[in-house]
Amino acid sequence: MDQLVVNAVTRSETGKRVAKKLREDGRLPAVMYNSKGESFPLVVDEAEFTKVWKNSTPTTLINLKVDGKDNLVFIKDTEYDIKTDKNLHADFHAVDSDKVLRRTLKIQLGGNPVGVREGGRLTAHQSQITIQCLPKDLPPRIVADVSNLAIGQKFYIKDLNLGEGISILTSGDILVASVSAPKR
């Protein structure tokens, strides 16, 4: 997938009145935070941001072009109005492409286990994992392929294959999923 891009311009005025006027004009007030804790008030196009927001996950790296300068960011937070179906504000977190990130991600179970097809019951145990990697290596999701689990078998953190460049910080002995015999 191509990298998602959001264009932004810096803004000097802040406050409720300014934000309201921006929204009326189809623009969205936003803030970009860097690793030093500094914040930069921005303006983005609401439609452009919403398109990117709907096609991203918490681990999706976005190219935020601020006044033409590229910044590698995550969408940190949004304020969303469910009544109007519009975003009201966006926060971006800028990252250094050469600095290791630490993230906690949800584990998704993938596949239909052999043991379930034989009448067993799949139980999910651990739902999150903490990993460490460079931003370019950050996976969009963590999927535990449990399709080969038979009745009585278990899937542990150490059974995950996340690829090169990704270190698992969660203990490998933690149970992710198991297939148990059907109750009689």
DSSP string, 81-144: ETTTTEEEEEEEEE--TTS-EEEEEEEEEES--HHHHTT-EEEE---EEEEEE-GGG--S-EEE
Q: Which two tokens stand for residue 122?
A: 């799949």
pLDDT recorded at residue 177:
97
Domain ranges of the chain: 4-94, 101-180
pLDDT recorded at residue 59:
84
Q: Is the pTM of this model over 0.75?
A: yes
Query: In this structure, which topology does domain 4-94 adopt according to CATH?
Result: Ribosomal Protein L25; Chain P (2.40.240)
pLDDT recorded at residue 152:
95
**Strand-strand pairing, 128-133 and 167-168:** antiparallel
pLDDT recorded at residue 108:
95
| Regions of the chain where pLDDT drops below 50 | 1
Query: In this structure, which topology does domain 101-180 adopt according to CATH?
Result: RNA Polymerase Alpha Subunit; Chain A, domain 2 (2.170.120)
